[in-house]
Structure 1
């Protein structure tokens, strides 16, 4: 089994604010010109302390079409409402998977009790592209609590792998996906080891959320760094140099044209124009402020 080669270890780009509640580092597509299809975008919110506040911070009502948003909480709590009638709160370890598909309005903000208390906040949001045949499908929402997540316990108290999507050591994640995707949280204790095997043509990366790791017995990466792999080889081995949390993402690329404008991710410019018109005409539904 050939080792998957590390292409680059990338440090977090300069942060920017999304609304007033999310300070994020955009690793791709704007931070680094890497191909992570079917993952189109990754905003990483490194750990930050928010002060207590009565009025929750967040980002107001905005539309999406043509893809999915996957929000993974590590610290803090995020509340969500959308125009399909879905709402929920994710706490540390939880995941919210929203399929915008043909069009949705939503808003995201700090959960009320967290906002009143303040404290550490850390999260990841991914935009997962949809194959063309699913872009105009029905919007959907999947809420995953950490307690219910499929998991693999690493022997000898090495830690655990939480399987959000895909299959690890025969254990299947709960998320329904529209193309082959592997998405895990590897929570390793100091000295814990994990191995992964992904098809050679899958695009693969590791986001070090906490701690530090050795990869393939060759390179070290610390918190807030992203390890981007080449499409050569299949095997990845990681060892935690201290208690660590690593987001593992790998997926089969979607080999279709991309047209993107703001919150719309389609295949052609004509579809982008249609999305703008549909949004302006109120066809994405209604959501109260």
Structure 2
């Protein structure tokens, strides 16, 4: 069997706050210098209790250009608004896939009712890079409710694989993507095994959201750790050491230059300067604070 070997099992870097509503561990690009293209950034909000509050916590209006933000909820609820007129709330199990492309203004806050009661909060936000030819395309928005998410049931009550994007065992995920990307939530019961197969050159990593797993029959990965794989071999087996939730990420690298400045992800310095000018000139639209 052509096994995809582990490169590293990475512990969560020290957390920092994004706005006053999101305590995150940045696994990449700043936490660890690993190549996960087309995934440029992963902020992991490990489980935290927020106290009840009348004024919702969150992040105020800010711009994005050149990539997509994908927010996956595990606990808590987040309300989203953008300058393209899209808005919505994601609850546990839901996914919000926003294509910033040529540019949007964006804000996200704890959903009002969740804010009033408080409670556990756990999320992942990914920045998915766009190829140069799509960076200045039209912004888009995909809301994927867990109730509508396609899934593959593992044998013998082993749990299920929810397919957010890509294709697992012939079942195609709901999200449409610009490059080949696989994004799943594996929800495994204790003792269950699941097998995955990705092309050797795909950048691949598994985020352990809950529980703990044994990978390829050898190494254990605990809650809040990220398993980063080598770009060789194709197959991976995981076994749940307890009831577990694992975010599965794999994608074909975009082999183009990247220049990042804050919330802009482009190919050249000139495009970054243009993004700043367009933002300052109000070309990203309008969004009320």
Q: In the TM superposition, what are the counterparts of 1:64-79 in structure 2 within 5 Å?
A: 64-79=64-79
Q: Distance in 1 between matches of 2:142 and 2:192?
A: 30
Provide the residue aligned with 1:189 in structure 2: 189
Aligned residue for 1:114, secondary structure, equals: helix
Q: Distance in 1 between matches of 2:39 and 2:109?
A: 23
Q: Distance in 1 between matches of 2:50 and 2:141?
A: 28
Q: Distance in 2 between matches of 1:61 and 1:109?
A: 10
Q: Distance in 1 between matches of 2:286 and 2:265?
A: 21
Gapped regions of structure 2 (runs ≥ 5): none
Aligned residue for 1:41, secondary structure, equals: strand
Q: Distance in 1 between matches of 2:240 and 2:79?
A: 32
Whether 1:227 and 2:232 are equivalent positions in the alignment is: no
Whether 1:132 and 2:163 are equivalent positions in the alignment is: no
Aligned residue for 2:179, secondary structure, equals: coil
Q: Distance in 1 between matches of 2:219 and 2:261?
A: 37
Provide the residue aligned with 1:108 in structure 2: 108
Q: Deviations over 1:158-199 (max 9, x none)?
A: 000000000000000010100000000000000111000000
Q: Distance in 2 between matches of 1:54 and 1:186?
A: 35
Runs of 4+ in 1 over 2 A off after TM superposition: none
Q: Distance in 2 between matches of 1:179 and 1:152?
A: 23
Provide the residue aligned with 2:174 in structure 1: 174
Q: Distance in 2 between matches of 1:141 and 1:279?
A: 20
Aligned residue for 2:70, secondary structure, equals: strand
Q: Deviations over 1:107-155 (max 9, x none)?
A: 0010000000000000000000000000000000000000100100001
Q: Distance in 2 between matches of 1:176 and 1:60?
A: 28
Gapped regions of structure 1 (runs ≥ 5): none
Provide the residue aligned with 1:146 in structure 2: 146
Q: In the TM superposition, what are the counterparts of 1:63-102 in structure 2 within 5 Å?
A: 63-102=63-102
Aligned residue for 2:121, secondary structure, equals: strand
The TM-score, its normalising length taken from structure 1, stands at: 1.00
Deviation, structure 1 residue 232? 1.1
Provide the residue aligned with 2:276 in structure 1: 276
Q: Deviations over 1:38-83 (max 9, x none)?
A: 0000000000000000000000000000000000000000100000
Aligned residue for 2:162, secondary structure, equals: strand
CA RMSD across the alignment: 0.3
Aligned residues: 289
Deviation, structure 1 residue 101? 0.1
Provide the residue aligned with 1:59 in structure 2: 59
Q: Distance in 2 between matches of 1:12 and 1:260?
A: 23
Q: Distance in 2 between matches of 1:284 and 1:86?
A: 14
Q: Distance in 2 between matches of 1:199 and 1:259?
A: 27
Provide the residue aligned with 2:50 in structure 1: 50
Aligned residue for 1:133, secondary structure, equals: helix
Provide the residue aligned with 1:20 in structure 2: 20
Provide the residue aligned with 1:32 in structure 2: 32
